[in-house]
Amino acid sequence: MKPGSRFWPTLIGHWTVVLRRQIPLVFIAAALIIATHDARAETAAWEYKVVILQGVTAGGTIEKDAHGIYVDIKRTRALNTLAAEGWEVVTVTGAVATDHTVYLRRRTSR
């Protein structure tokens, strides 16, 4: 497929048609994003918290739940308590059976 081949103009023409069809979709998507913009984001601030959850080797208790999934009961209770206080998990780092660092946030009004 050299630029001088017969296929090249066909390929460029094809992509021009495809892009022309996509432009209205981009404008529609942008309009929907603007229309559904969360107004609270401008009047709210986030409070952050970092929590270290100790791994199984530090005394965690693993049990099988009703769905057959193995769950660390201590970690689950700790996260449920934080969720009840309004905290939501942003990300978790750590490996299996080690300590996990949990990054949380909650919305606070200014």
> Beta strands 88-93 and 100-109: pairing type?
antiparallel
Q: Return d(Cα 100, Cα 37) in angstroms, integer.
A: 34
Tell me the CATH architecture of domain 40-109: 2-Layer Sandwich (3.30)
Which DSSP string do the residues of 20-69 spell out, in sequence order? HHHHHHHHHHHHHHHHT--THHHHEEEEEEEEEEP-GGGT--EEE-TTS-
Query: Tens digit of pLDDT for each residue in 63-73?
Result: 888 888 888 88
pTM of this structure = 0.54
Query: Tens digit of pLDDT for each residue in 5-39?
Result: 555 555 556 556 656 666 676 667 777 777 666 65
- The dihedral of CA 52, 54, 60, 64: what is its sign? positive
